[in-house]
Amino acid sequence: MTPGERLWRWRALSGEEGEPDALAAMTERETESAFEGLISFGTAGLRAVMGPGSARMNVLTVRLTARALAKTIPEHPETFAGTGVCICYDSRRNSRLFAETCAAVMAEAGIPVLFFGELRPTPEISFAVRHYGCAAGINITASHNPKEYNGLKVYGGDGGQLVPGPAAAVAAHMEEAELFLGPPAVSFEQALEEGKIRILGKETDEAFFRAVLEMAAPCGRIPSGFPIVYTPFHGTGAKVIPEVLRRLGADRLFCVEEQMIPDGDFPTVDSPNPEYKESFRLAERLADRVGADWIIGSDPDADRIAVEYRTEKGTFDHPSFQAVGSVLFEWYAGRLKETGRLPEKPVLMKSIVTGRLAGEVARAQGFGCRETFTGFKYITAEKDRLERNGEGRVVFSFEESYGCMAGDYCRDKDAVGAAALLCCMAADLAAHGMTLGDAIRDCYERYGYWAEKTVSITCTGTDSARRIARVMRELRREPPEEAAGRRVLQWEDMLDGRTGGSEADRRPTSDLKGEDVLRYHLEGGCSILLRPSGTEPKLRIYLSALCSRKDSGRVVEELEEWGLGLIPDP
């Protein structure tokens, strides 16, 4: 079907389903982009701007995806082991509508549905899939993306997001199916009345709380009087994180009330991404009013978390999660040792874009350290494989993108469990007269100062994805001998596993392959990793340098300049 045919069919839709007002308001270029192709389903599921069009998030594309998943589940019992599908949603516009659409499709296919009656965070659906023995989970969320976006994540029976094989099977069924097929014969309300859909509520929350608190038990309790400021940025964290912290003993917890209200327009922030310090303006003002030195914030689906601490100057610092994750891992490992809960053959799991500081900490703590491709779908799949084969026990996992996972109850980034650990750690540091900044500096003094930065190049225009692909293709065809004025000692192509460079034979390599990633190890302890985003027209560049703090700004700037020059302006 051509874009013009899809547009003609769309205009013929009746009622609100075709979003006629939104379609009429679109420019010619927007219409061309919206109907150019079919929305892409990958290991991250769906994620796109909401609105009319075959390439956007709307009832028709969500319905198409749900029907494709319903066909895939019985065909792949190794991935979808269990019974039924668990469905939840976040605070974004249309999230409840999309969730009900998925539930009705599953009921039509004869698949039992467990449906969260109110919005809930990502880690809770990952937990619920395993807790109830479901075959799959569906989470309607676009995580930290801007308000115009929404998305659909799919989980297998292990509680982890889909890896490439089953994701490709869903995508194939989407290509075969009819986009303009009508709604299910049974509505959400009818399926609910007939018992095909069951509503989940407080009983699931309580089971989830018990699991989180059990994981955090070695950390003790948050002492009375320790002040904490929390913001969920209008998202799902408001439903669970304050309750978990109070059960851990927090009696001076101050929530940013304006941001405790679920709102998919995120009216009080430019971006609901906790990665950005500017998103914490209201939290900082509240902390000043109540005398708090510690702030935490979770993104709309509560899988990512960031922290701020008050410095000696009285201002708030917003450290990278490369540093925070490394310090938190070391502190948590120490608590496990002290309480006799450290398992045999403990392992730290991290992604290839997570800095080398974490690996140094792991080795010093007597842990194994394993790398995976970017994304907790790979981390959790490798965790399960490792533990199934008796090769180790994964105690802690994290990525530089403000996400971590501890314990065994969840198989995704978990801001709820992270909030519990981070607040326990902050209180413990305060009791010893230290801040998180002190702990980070101490970590650098013991393991070396790693300057690390993530840069994203956003491409615009209809050929944006092709421009990024062309850059990656050219780098593969002619691997650079130097980058940022430094010799390339070794390069790794993780698409096919090839390596090269002047010292390729003398350096260890990763055995990972199958993903569009290039990594360059440069002289002087520097490295550059390139990875196209799977959900946006962006080339992500991860920079790392082992150097003195004094030289770090200059070194990282040189690496960044080389990376930014890869894609010239159109």
pLDDT per residue as tens digits for the range 169-219:
999 999 999 999 999 999 999 999 999 999 998 999 999 999 999 999 999
Average pLDDT for residues 360-389, to the nearest whole number? 94
- CA 347 from centre of chain: 21
Confidence of residue 453 (pLDDT cuts 50, 70, 90): confident
Residue type (1 letter), 84: G
Contact between 99 and 115 under an 8 Å Cβ cutoff? The reply is yes
Pairing verdict, β 526-532 and 518-522 = antiparallel
Confidence of residue 569 (pLDDT cuts 50, 70, 90): low
What is the pLDDT at residue 535? 66
Task: Supply angle C-alpha 218, 223, 227, rounded to 5.
Answer: 120
Q: Is the pLDDT of residue 570 over 60?
A: no
Q: How far is CA 147 from CA 139, 143, 274, 550, in A?
A: 17, 10, 14, 39
Average pLDDT for residues 455-467, to the nearest whole number? 79
Task: Supply angle C-alpha 520, 521, 525, rounded to 5.
Answer: 145
Structure tokens at 177: 């199916």
Q: What are phi and psi of 543, to 5 degrees?
A: -110, 140
Q: Give the whole-angstrom CA distance, residue 420 versus residue 244.
A: 7
Q: Is the pLDDT of residue 547 over 60?
A: yes
Q: Which residues of 77-95 are buried (b: 16+ CB within 10 A; e: fewer)?
A: eebbebebbbbbbbbbebb
Structure tokens at 505: 């034979």
Q: Is the pLDDT of residue 161 over 70?
A: yes
Residue labelled with tokens 């964290």 = 237
Average pLDDT for residues 467-474, to the nearest whole number? 91
Strand arrangement, sheet containing 346-351:
368-372, 346-351, 393-399, 403-406
Contact between 376 and 397 under an 8 Å Cβ cutoff? The reply is yes
Name the residue among 356, 357, 351 with its Cα closest to residue 381.
Answer: 351
Structure tokens at 52: 């009319």
Q: Which residues pair with 57 in a beta bridge?
A: 50
Name the residue among 212, 171, 198 with its Cα closest to residue 103.
Answer: 198
Average pLDDT for residues 349-365, to the nearest whole number? 91
Q: What DSSP element (H or E) covers 480? A: none
Q: Mean pLDDT check: name the lowest of 19-28, 54-63, 106-115.
A: 19-28
Mean residue pLDDT of the chain comes to 94
- The share of the chain scoring above pLDDT 70, in percent, equals 98
The domains found in the chain, sorted by start residue, are: 3-200 (3.40.120.10), 206-312 (3.40.120.10), 321-447 (3.40.120.10), 450-564 (3.30.310.50)
Higher per-residue confidence, 4 vs 459 = 4
Structure tokens at 32: 């061309």
What is the pLDDT at residue 101? 98
Q: Give the whole-angstrom CA distance, residue 25 versus residue 5.
A: 19
Residue type (1 letter), 449: Y
What would the pLDDT profile of 406-449 be if each residue is shown by its tens digit? 999 999 999 999 999 999 999 999 999 999 999 999 999 998 88
What is the pLDDT at residue 504? 75
Average pLDDT for residues 2-28, to the nearest whole number? 90
Higher per-residue confidence, 461 vs 43 = 43
What is the pLDDT at residue 43? 81
Structure tokens at 528: 């550059």
What is the pLDDT at residue 120? 97
Q: What is the pTM of this model?
A: 0.93
Return the SS3 of 520. Answer: strand
Q: Give the whole-angstrom CA distance, residue 153 versus residue 168.
A: 14
What is the pLDDT at residue 462? 63
Q: Which residues pair with 398 in a beta bridge?
A: 350, 404
Higher per-residue confidence, 36 vs 197 = 197
**What separation, in Å, do the N-terminal and C-terminal C-alpha atoms of the chain show?**
30
Confidence of residue 460 (pLDDT cuts 50, 70, 90): confident
Q: Give the whole-angstrom CA distance, residue 473 versus residue 454.
A: 21
What is the pLDDT at residue 288? 98
DSSP state of 164: H
Residue 320 appears among annotated catalytic residues:
no
Q: Is the pLDDT of residue 505 over 80?
A: no
Average pLDDT for residues 496-524, to the nearest whole number? 86
**Catalytic residue (one of 33, 91, 95, 143):** 143
